[in-house]
Amino acid sequence: MNTPVANSKEINELLARYGVKFGIYKNGSFHEQLFPFDAIPRIIPAADFAELEKGLIQRVDALNMFLRDVYSDKKIISDGVVPEDFVYSSTGFLQQCDGVLPPKGIYSHISGIDLVQAKDGVWYILEDNLRIPSGASYPLIARELCRMTSPDVFREAQVRDNRNYIALLRETMDYVNCGGINVILTPGRYNAAYFEHSYFAEKTGAALVQNSDLFVEDNILYLKDYQNGKTRVGAVYRRISDEYLDPLTFLPESLIGIPHIMDAYRAGNVALINAPGNGAADDKGIYYFVPKMIEYYLGEKAILQNAPTYLPFYENDRKYVLDNLEKLVIKDVSEAGGYGVVFGSDMTKEQLADWRKLISEQSRRFIAQEVIDFIDLPITDEQGNTTLHKADLRAFVLSGETTRVWCSGLTRFSRNVDSFVVNSSQGGGFKDTWVLSQE
């Protein structure tokens, strides 16, 4: 089953026509670019996925319990499992959210967990994205187009249907809705994922809104209508980041936020999806502690492994990192989207020395990881040749009444044959992810 869908070119043309784009900021200006699709799917056997599913549910449940704990009793700190410093010094920990219990106690409703598969078949967690993980719409729409261009393939191959993402998303919003309608809040069309915002709104029936459509009165969030009327909003799937959400609580200069939305949220009158303050759990420094959280909250061993990670904050780890820098990958804990990632193997002698100094001086700012030799997936290039590129998988986990893993995912591959960086903001492409229904 190497090339079940042989229509890459055609599907990319359709994606362009449907406006499936990805926006990036480069040198201060906004460019929309197509997100190149490769039609050879990544195939995950049923048994492999069942194991992934168990591990992902376990991980996301523990992360949600961690968030609930650090924003209330902080038992994991007083019990000495996570050092206090790693919580309070994290830029993702928002003091403004302390003591606030979100509707139904759920913090991360939509989690994007990035994994890679090593050459020996073992899956490793690369990072957790609990703020605004984007990208589920791309495999959804690509699958839809593949079905149109190659209907036979889907009649014959035992691929699990991925169209239930929309239902999962809607159920997640409905479950935490505090009374009123669901809305998807977008910063507007100059956002990297605007296509996705409008796609989900159309499919789930939520209203697609910008900040000026909403206002708060008496700690209740309303949508304005054209006759000067108002409709209560019960859940906001917001696609703007925490610090821009409410200019009266966070950045005063935010022009895309809604004044007093945090007061409505604190009063328990509206659900924010995902909850503000989730950065406290997906910080690259906190990642190291996730297997410990799973043991602490669930009394279980972690099913899915972290990539071997070192915290220069700890003296033993720092020594190892300084001694082995040339074979490690260094990540800046405050950066996202593939920025702030450097490989020791790419550094000159002088750069290695500079980095050793920087890591010694700012030990809390970086983590170091062993480079995992993850598998290459075949890509068909413009000339029709097959080349091998590094690829990861973003799995989407939705937490409502229960925690469920979407049986698909976003497989991203690196733009260059030799590159390990697969983030779409760095110019890579994507594939459909097929989860087989049986072996």
Partner 1 sequence: MKRLRFEYSAELTFSQNVSEHCFTLRCLPVSDGRQLIREPVYEIFPQNGRIWTSRDSFGNTLLCGRISEPHDVFSFRVSGKAEIINTRDISGFPAAVYGYSSPLTKPGEVIRKFYSENTPASNSQIDRAMELCNALYAAMKYEKGKTDVHTTAEEALEQGAGVCQDYAHIFLALCRLDGIRCRYVSGLAFESGETHAWTEVGSGSCWYGVDPANNRFIGENYIKICHGRDYSDCPIERGIYLGNSSGVQTVTSSVAEF
Whole-angstrom CA distances from 16 to 9, 19, 256, 382 are: 11, 5, 28, 16
Examine residue 252 and tell whether it contacts partner 1 (CB under 8 A).
Answer: yes
Tokens of 322: 């300084």
Specify the amino acid at residue 362: Q
- Give 36's Cβ-side CA count (13 Å radius): 17
Nearer to partner 1, 40 or 178 (CB): 178
CA–centroid distance for 55 within its chain: 16
CA distance 162 to 158: 12
- Does position 156 interact with partner 1 (CB under 8 A)? The reply is no
- Give the binding range for partner 1 (CB under 8 A) out of 6-14, 127-135, 217-225, 376-384: 217-225
When the beta carbons of 257 and 291 are compared against partner 1, the nearer one is: 257
- Which CB, 72 or 351, lies closer to partner 1? 72
For the window 39-78, what string marks contact with partner 1 as x by the rule CB under 8 A?
Answer: -----------------------------------x--x-
Judged by CB under 8 A, the chain residues 261 through 280 that form the site for partner 1 are 263, 266-267
CA angle (333, 335, 338) in 5-degree steps: 115
Nearest 10 degrees: Cα torsion 425, 427, 428, 432: 70
Q: Which residues 98-127 are close enough to bind partner 1 by CB under 8 A?
A: 98-100
Burial class (CB in 10 A: 0-12, 13-18, 19+), 38: buried
How many positions of this chain bind partner 1 (CB under 8 A)?
Answer: 25
The pair of structure tokens assigned to 365 is: 């700012």
Which residue type occupies 321? V
Q: Minimum distance from CB of 275 to partner 1 (Å)?
A: 14
**Taking CB under 8 A as the rule, does residue 379 contact partner 1?**
no
Which residue lies nearer to partner 1 by CB, 215 or 420? 215
- Residue 331 CB, shortest distance to partner 1, in Å, is 22
- Of positions 247, 285, 338, 427, contacts partner 1 by CB under 8 A: 247
Q: Is 218 in the site for partner 1 (CB under 8 A)?
A: yes
Q: Among 96, 149, 363, 426, which residue sits at the site for partner 1 (rule: CB under 8 A)?
A: 96
Q: Answer whether 206's CB lies under 8 Å from 197's CB.
A: no
* Minimum CB distance to partner 1 smaller for 219 or for 426: 219
Beta partners for residue 127, in sequence order: 114
Residue length of the chain: 439
When asked if residue 335 is in the footprint of partner 1 (CB under 8 A), the reply is: no
Q: Which residues bind partner 1 (CB under 8 A)?
A: 74, 77, 84, 88-89, 95-100, 215-219, 247-249, 252, 259-260, 263, 266-267
